[in-house]
Structure 1
């Protein structure tokens, strides 16, 4: 028994050394793919996950399936992409930081409104967890069109398509120098969105048909702009300092030359001001009251949630 255990530990050590050796041989400007669990383990992101759990009104199992798994999937698809070439979210990982800020702010605002507004307070209370999930998916997908800014490349020279493929080799990225039409970007955005929302969640939401009737048009970009959820998303954009991303398709078309041609080199020259992953306390000064750790959930809960995803 001791020999078997010793051999297992020896094999794990060899695998660790091999992975470390692979990381050390990556050329400058390339990044080694990181799992969603690791990318979400910064202290600020753990605070966000805790906050989401506390306001989701779901059990841990449902929270993992409906909230945490989609976040993990999106995180793995975009890795450390920034949200823009300059400004608050231009750091490595800025796209995920911006998305988490957007999500937590939207959910906080929705709790204030108690959706849907045209129902009695009793009915709204009964449907709260359903509509919170609709707000979550709607806000989670708001910044997905920004992925279209980027093109990626593996160390081998093969193409990596950010948002479409989880990288499995060292990669680098740059702002796209090719002009893409809105139809392609909308199609790509819809495809990425479809990967994030679990079928089990759709099935769960159909218990309240009104939620699906809003969510599906929202995800396809054709929802009523005057709907209360769209108003919440717009306000969340402002509070998260993302106003200029409210209409990302128009933003691309009108400002393509400023974004797409901002650099012709790959990622080693893209990030001038590299910031570590714990940027949230500085990046969300106006949202401090929204992202404090919940007294109902501690770091052990976060570790448990993340560890369950690894299985």
Structure 2
């Protein structure tokens, strides 16, 4: 009886069929060059597929918007980093370590943020109107959190041209190495990389709430967030996945490491424990969703009406007939 009751409120997988288990193949020739892989190939490992399933389960966005604002940036980022590691040594130093770290960290942060009221301290009607946007700000902040680690990497294509991991998908066989400390990039590139990952409609949504835009920009510039709760959630997630950013291992510059340490210890930043004390049932996101969908009124993939169930906040969106469902997350995976 309990299982039937629980399944009624659980978010159903967005894909009806279960994808066959597949292991992402790392092809490296005798010269040390890797073969570029598609985003689908890179997402084929059980860990990454499980992360996608958990992202979908913990997101309140309708499927079409989840595809644009969550899945598309994830695929683009993974394609641009391929199989690079996150650090020269340690937990995330293996092939594909950066992608594994980013997905696991992002999944953890989104899960921790679920159920919190955003922005903290705002009027209930403001929280109801902006809930979806702030939850998505947490996702983007988490997805971009480890971009500074890419500054320590240098790449080269088979034809001798330079390739910078994180900037673009390599069009030829490639190889990479860690820069020596004296050759490390000193100019921050995170804001530029993030701008390339954010969809245009997402930027329009962000600037519609200046506080959310300002919060994300502070994060991308390595500054303490204007919403301390978000900093606390990201720090908690970093600790749970053993992020090298928390340990300050592999951080490109001492200034960046000092700034990250200061942001994590400043008095007004809340700990994960105090953040948990602020949890309460999520407000209705119907108004927020209608505002978001107004950006897509000319798009054939999304149409009104949108219904928000006050009991379980399960957003449902009607789609035009005749369009097949897109692959959002693999069905049949366990989620948490």
Task: Answer whether TM exceeds 0.5 for this pair.
Answer: yes
**3-state DSSP class of the match of 1:152?**
strand
Distance 1:247 1:24, change over 3 A: closer
Partner in structure 2 of residue 227 of structure 1 = 228
Partner in structure 2 of residue 305 of structure 1 = 328
Partner in structure 2 of residue 177 of structure 1 = 180
CA contact (8 A) 2:118 2:134 kept: yes
Correspondence 1:245-284 to 2 at 5 A: 245-246=245-246, 251-254=251-254
Return the match for 1:87 from 90, 104, 128: 90
1:214 and 2:215 aligned: yes
Partner in structure 1 of residue 64 of structure 2 = 61
The Cα RMSD (Å) is: 3.0
**3-state DSSP class of the match of 2:78?**
helix
Return the match for 1:161 from 161, 164, 178: 164
Give distance in 2, aligned partners of 1:233 and 1:107: 9
Tell me the CA shift for residue 145 of structure 1: 0.7
CA contact (8 A) 2:80 2:170 kept: yes
Tell me the CA shift for residue 205 of structure 1: 2.8
CA contact (8 A) 2:156 2:176 kept: yes
Tell me the CA shift for residue 124 of structure 1: 2.8
**3-state DSSP class of the match of 1:153?**
strand
Partner in structure 2 of residue 134 of structure 1 = 137
Give distance in 2, aligned partners of 1:306 and 1:228: 28
- Greater relative contact order: 1 or 2 (C-alpha under 8 angstroms, separation 6 or more)? 1
Listed one character per residue, the Cα deviations across residues 32-85 of structure 1 (whole Å, up to 9, x for unaligned) are 000112111222211111211122211111111101111111101110011111
Give distance in 1, aligned partners of 2:99 and 2:325: 18
Partner in structure 1 of residue 151 of structure 2 = 148
Greater displacement, 152-161 / 23-32: 23-32
CA contact (8 A) 1:145 1:249 kept: no
Greater displacement, 175-184 / 33-42: 175-184
Aligned residue pairs total 238
CA contact (8 A) 1:237 1:246 kept: yes
Unaligned runs of 5+ in 2: 1-25, 256-313, 315-323, 331-336
Tell me the CA shift for residue 252 of structure 1: 2.7
**3-state DSSP class of the match of 1:164?**
coil
Q: TM-score, normalised by structure 1?
A: 0.68
**3-state DSSP class of the match of 2:132?**
helix
Listed one character per residue, the Cα deviations across residues 232-259 of structure 1 (whole Å, up to 9, x for unaligned) are 11111111111x414869933359xxxx
Unaligned runs of 5+ in 1: 1-22, 256-295
CA contact (8 A) 1:46 1:302 kept: no
Q: Which structure: greater helix fraction?
A: 1
CA contact (8 A) 1:33 1:167 kept: yes
**3-state DSSP class of the match of 1:174?**
strand
**3-state DSSP class of the match of 1:151?**
strand
Listed one character per residue, the Cα deviations across residues 92-127 of structure 1 (whole Å, up to 9, x for unaligned) are 111011111111111111114332221245643443
Correspondence 1:66-77 to 2 at 5 A: 66-77=69-80
Tell me the CA shift for residue 226 of structure 1: 6.7
